[in-house]
Chain A
Amino acid sequence: MPAVSKGDGMRGLAVFISDIRNCKSKEAEIKRINKELANIRSKFKGDKALDGYSKKKYVCKLLFIFLLGHDIDFGHMEAVNLLSSNKYTEKQIGYLFISVLVNSNSELIRLINNAIKNDLSSRNPTFMCLALHCIANVGSREMAEAFASEIPRILVAGDTMDSVKQSAALCLLRLYKTSPDLVLMGEWTSRVVHLLNDQHMGVVTAAISLITCLSQKNPDEFKTCVSLAVSRLSRIVSSASTDLQDYTYYFVPAPWLSCKLLRLLQCYPPPEDGAVKGRLVECLETILNKAQEPPKSKKVQHSNAKNAILFEAISLIIHYDSEPNLLVRACNQLGQFLQHRETNLRYLALESMCTLASSEFSHEAVKTHIETVINALKTERDVSVRQRAADLLYAMCDRSNAKQIVAEMLSYLETADYSIREEMVLKVAILAEKYAVDYSWYVDTILNLIRIAGDYVSEEVWYRVIQIVINRDDVQGYAAKTVFEALQAPACHENMVKVGGYILGEFGNLIAGDPRSSPLVQFNLLHSKFHLCSVPTRALLLSAYIKFINLFPETKSTIQEVLRSDSQIRNSDVELQQRAVEYLKLSSIASTDVLATVLEEMPPFPERESSILAKLKKKKGPGAVSVSELEEGKREGGELNGGSDRGADTAAMAASNASTPSPQADLLGLRSTAPVGSAAPSAGSLLVDVFSEAGPATPSAAVNDDGFLRFVCKNNGVLFENQLLQIGIKSEYRQNLGRMYLFYGNKTSVQFASFTTTVSCPGDLQSHILYMQEHFVEPLVEGGAQVQQVLNIECLTDFCDAPLLNIKFRYGGALQNLTLKLPVTINKFFQPTEMASHDFFQRWKQLSQPQQEAQKIFKANHSMDTEVLKAKLLGLGTALLDNVDPNPENYVCAGVIQTKNQQVGCLLRLEPNAQAQVLSHTHTHTHTHTHTNLYSCL
């Protein structure tokens, strides 16, 4: 155990940590911790008041235990007590504990806020900084509410110490990020912007983070910062390395501030003012020039700091995308880095060049580095660098180099790391399609892809090749021939069988003239793979067989024989059995004409955005594939597919043709159109709608409250469901507190990107209920996955409106926006109250003043079944009182609504009138406007 070095040693703490370290097993550790917890608990509960030092020591031990990964359920109060100590160390430990173990316990938050308030007004800079740190660390809404107006004042006050200004700036930034609505800059704006001129570099460094964030949100209000930032940058760039004293980092003047200034400028277009722009260009040139100078130090810190500025300058140049000269210089600089001995620089250069490749000015310059990049893909030892190289090759690909790049990527795929194969496959597929001049090359490439990396070829990829083959009649013969040859391989991937089955089923006739690929040979080849395949593929093959019967009548008896065999017609899989039975029947009863009509060749597919591109975008997250690229993809895709667009009736036609039924259709939720007179009732249209962008879920901003009413009387269930998304709710309420679990289920097989949920309170609801999001949802929801979110709700006073839940996500590139009413209604906070008949009517009479009483007559929408009604009233949360009302037909309920501020007793009487289906409804109450709110629930 080392001696505790400085400051105040807490010997007991050191001993405890040492004990824990000496524990031989997890069990021993837990035992030691439990012993310590018991000790601390007894100390905290003991009669003897603890002195500050002991309290600090125990709180610190608790913190240690928590950081080891154990739960702590006490000690918060003692930590809060430490905050008001005027001994620095005690206060500091108190704040540390609060910062690490934030608790939504509102009692405590109020005490904490009080302590913070005292420290903020103490005018002691050290205390003020501690308090500001705590606010920034916790960053909760309650804190924002308490301090959002105070902190800007501290930030711009003339007499605030520099260190406090720095903390205040970053604290305000934190609050702005959590609760932008509470941070009102307005009058402070110009004074905050002028912090860029502050003579203390530390203040500028801290303030600029705040200014950058505010500029991103309100560019117009902050645009004066551009010229200030340029002049500040210019002063730093032109300063000698010793001018800035301690802000020079390993001979680089103010690297952090320089980078932040360059980052701030990226929030804006190039300056319009010629002088400002000239000065900025000069800065950027100086930065590029400095990169060529010999280093002032051999230390990696020097080169990192220097290059950090260089990369940030290059980002700005790329952002402006208007100075060809600078762009080309940037590109050359990155080219140098591509061959640098530092792996980090090679990595960053590859990454940065990706964005440069999309600029028209520098695209050609980037392309000159193709050999280096291909070499990187082959030889880099680090997979993350190879990944960047693959990204860059994809970005620099165009018609002139597509064949080379695709070939390199394909050969890399054979040895590629598993983690990046799927993405590589998508990239190859997209490039092959986008830049295909002749379709045989395209077909070859995709079949190669399946051969090399079949496991990573997703459905979208093989759907797409089929779609293209069907739309281009000049490639069909070649495709049939190639796929036939590919299937000759003794072991070929199941995806190859799928493509082969589909294409031969459609176009096998084009190669049937050759005796080596006669109909029967084709059939036998396909059927030799049948037993090795999964159910969906077998189903597809069965459809190919029935198509064969139509294409080649001579195969009919052989195929019927196969269909008739027990392994088909009695297959335990329902789908396969059904297909076998129906196809067999179809082939034996339908005339040749009928057969030819039903099994006609697939019509061309309507033109749509390549779903592969959409998938890649989803994989990479939004923004990874630029809009222009997407549009280009569309345009080029259009050329490739011959641009036939027959719109909606194509789908109908395909369905009535029922050409190739597939169970995949079900997975995609497209089981909509039943084929007319078809052999396979379950046939959706396999490919027709595969590429459609989530037809069902039309983005709607309107509030959807279908599910809402059903939740008035129950706490769990499905709040919302469409073809994409299911939202389930489980909730529990105790007194004035509630907890709601929201389950978001992705019903599709593809990822939702940018998935965000926000809860808002319309109108003045915010002052009536509090909610706190405990768990934020990941921005990506995988296909078939379910994510959970927890909301804590507190009822402050009675309320009427429900909070709104807004869900946004991207599905297949289209933004889905959904707003739902969250089923939080006043009756959720009911506590049932039992009382006898006598009590009930006594209170009923007491509460008979006009404002305490409300009555409503309404027509029952449903028949009034006693049990149903009883269940509903219980679900409402009140106690149903039997034998209270003299009229047995009436229902009588009592309950107390628990809000934070008060408890509101409610008595309720329901007088159903069965004949007229009318319920008259009396209702008495200790408080006025809760009536309205409750009625809205009823």
Chain B
Amino acid sequence: MMRFLLLFSRQGRLRLQKWFTPTPEREKKKIIRDMTTMVLARKPRSCNFLHWRDLKIVYKRYASLYFCLALEDQDNELLALEILHRYVELLDKYFGNVCELDIIFNFEKAYFILDEFLMGGEIQETSKQIVNRSIEASDMLQEDDNSDWYEVELFG
């Protein structure tokens, strides 16, 4: 399973943090520090994988943002890269040409989108269409909060 996902800028500013197992705040801060220094120190065109403690770290840079995912030993690194890519695609679809600012100003949306796609450190739904549809459906709910829940056909 995945242990955590961090998004941070080239300056090391944290933009999103998702912890899939309960982690004390102090420990989180330490991990964030370790990850940013370790990943930002990597030279370009290095491989995207690292060993850290007993975890595998998979990271990838998209424009100004680093996406950094921690995996357990038996997880597949290449697919983890594609999980990151799929997340970027979903953000892109939602925001339309996503940029760092979208994630800063709509952080809660970035979390919701992640939740549609991953859960408890495992992948929940790999179909982009289905995830998009359910995100759109929630947005529709947001705009029309008085609608009757039971009539909303979400995943038809």
Q: Which residues of A contact B (CB under 8 A)?
A: 1-2, 4-8, 14, 17-18, 21, 60, 63-64, 67, 69, 86-89, 92-93, 96, 102, 122-127, 132-133, 136-140, 161-163, 166-167, 170-171, 173-174, 201-202, 205-206, 209, 245-247, 249, 254-257, 259, 263, 266, 301, 304-305, 307-308, 311-312, 343-344, 346-348, 381-382, 384-385, 387, 621, 774-776, 778-780
- Please pick, from B22, B46, B139, B150, the residue contacting A6 in the complex, using a CB distance under 8 A: B139
**For A1, what are the chain B residues with a Cβ–Cβ distance below 8 Å?**
105
Query: Could you say which of A136, A162, A257 has the most chain B C-beta atoms within 10 Å of its C-beta?
Result: A136
**Contact in complex: B78, A307 (CB < 8 Å):** yes
**Contact in complex: B124, A170 (CB < 8 Å):** yes
Give the distance in Å from the alpha carbon of A347 to the alpha carbon of B46 in the complex. 10
Of the A-B pairs whose beta carbons lie under 8 Å apart in the complex, a sample of 15, sorted by A's number, is: A1-B105, A5-B102, A67-B17, A125-B154, A125-B155, A132-B119, A205-B126, A206-B125, A256-B79, A266-B74, A301-B85, A304-B79, A381-B43, A382-B46, A384-B46
**For A346, what are the chain B residues with a Cβ–Cβ distance below 8 Å?**
47
**Contact in complex: B124, A167 (CB < 8 Å):** yes
**Contact in complex: B143, A161 (CB < 8 Å):** no
Of all chain A residues, the one with the shortest Cβ separation from B137 is A126
With A4-B106, A170-B122: A124-B149 Cβ-Cβ less than 8 Å: yes
Give the distance in Å from the alpha carbon of A63 to the alpha carbon of B107 in the complex. 10
Q: Closest Cβ of chain A: how far from B16's Cβ, in Å?
A: 8
- Please pick, from B22, B108, B149, the residue contacting A102 in the complex, using a CB distance under 8 A: B22
**Contact in complex: B115, A133 (CB < 8 Å):** yes
Q: Which residues of B contact A (CB under 8 A)?
A: 1, 14, 17, 21-22, 24, 26-27, 29, 43, 45-51, 53-54, 74, 76-79, 81-82, 85-86, 94-96, 101-102, 104-109, 111-112, 115, 119-130, 134, 137-139, 141-143, 145, 149-150, 152, 154-155
Give the distance in Å from the alpha carbon of A934 to the alpha carbon of B81 in the complex. 58
With A173-B122, A344-B48: A246-B128 Cβ-Cβ less than 8 Å: yes
Of all chain B residues, the one with the shortest Cβ separation from A383 is B46
Q: Closest Cβ of chain A: how far from B129's Cβ, in Å?
A: 5
Q: Closest Cβ of chain B: how far from A123's Cβ, in Å?
A: 8
Of all chain A residues, the one with the shortest Cβ separation from B81 is A304
**Contact in complex: B122, A14 (CB < 8 Å):** no
Give the distance in Å from the alpha carbon of A348 to the alpha carbon of B21 in the complex. 27
**Contact in complex: A88, B111 (CB < 8 Å):** no
Give the distance in Å from the alpha carbon of A88 to the alpha carbon of B45 in the complex. 44
**Contact in complex: B127, A246 (CB < 8 Å):** yes
**Contact in complex: A14, B105 (CB < 8 Å):** yes
**Contact in complex: A344, B47 (CB < 8 Å):** yes
Give the distance in Å from the alpha carbon of A1 to the alpha carbon of B120 in the complex. 33
**Contact in complex: B102, A308 (CB < 8 Å):** no
Q: Closest Cβ of chain B: how far from A238's Cβ, in Å?
A: 19
- Please pick, from B24, B123, B124, B142, the residue contacting A88 in the complex, using a CB distance under 8 A: B142
**Contact in complex: B127, A381 (CB < 8 Å):** no
Give the distance in Å from the alpha carbon of A780 to the alpha carbon of B53 in the complex. 9
Give the distance in Å from the alpha carbon of A206 to the alpha carbon of B124 in the complex. 5
**For B139, what are the chain A residues with a Cβ–Cβ distance below 8 Å?**
6-7
**Contact in complex: A202, B127 (CB < 8 Å):** yes
Q: Closest Cβ of chain A: how far from B121's Cβ, in Å?
A: 8
**For B17, what are the chain A residues with a Cβ–Cβ distance below 8 Å?**
67
**For A126, what are the chain B residues with a Cβ–Cβ distance below 8 Å?**
137-138, 141, 149, 152, 154
- Please pick, from B47, B115, B130, the residue contacting A385 in the complex, using a CB distance under 8 A: B47
**For A139, what are the chain B residues with a Cβ–Cβ distance below 8 Å?**
21-22, 120
**Contact in complex: B122, A206 (CB < 8 Å):** yes
**Contact in complex: A5, B119 (CB < 8 Å):** no
- Please pick, from B46, B129, B138, B150, the residue contacting A246 in the complex, using a CB distance under 8 A: B129
Give the distance in Å from the alpha carbon of A308 to the alpha carbon of B75 in the complex. 10
**For A17, what are the chain B residues with a Cβ–Cβ distance below 8 Å?**
104-105
With A174-B120, A259-B79: A5-B95 Cβ-Cβ less than 8 Å: yes
Known: A67-B107, A166-B124, A209-B122. 15 other contacts (CB 8 A): A6-B94, A136-B119, A173-B122, A201-B127, A202-B127, A205-B125, A206-B125, A247-B126, A249-B86, A304-B81, A308-B79, A343-B46, A344-B81, A382-B46, A774-B24
Q: Closest Cβ of chain A: how far from B90's Cβ, in Å?
A: 13
**For A88, what are the chain B residues with a Cβ–Cβ distance below 8 Å?**
138, 141-142, 145
With A8-B142, A173-B122: A343-B137 Cβ-Cβ less than 8 Å: no
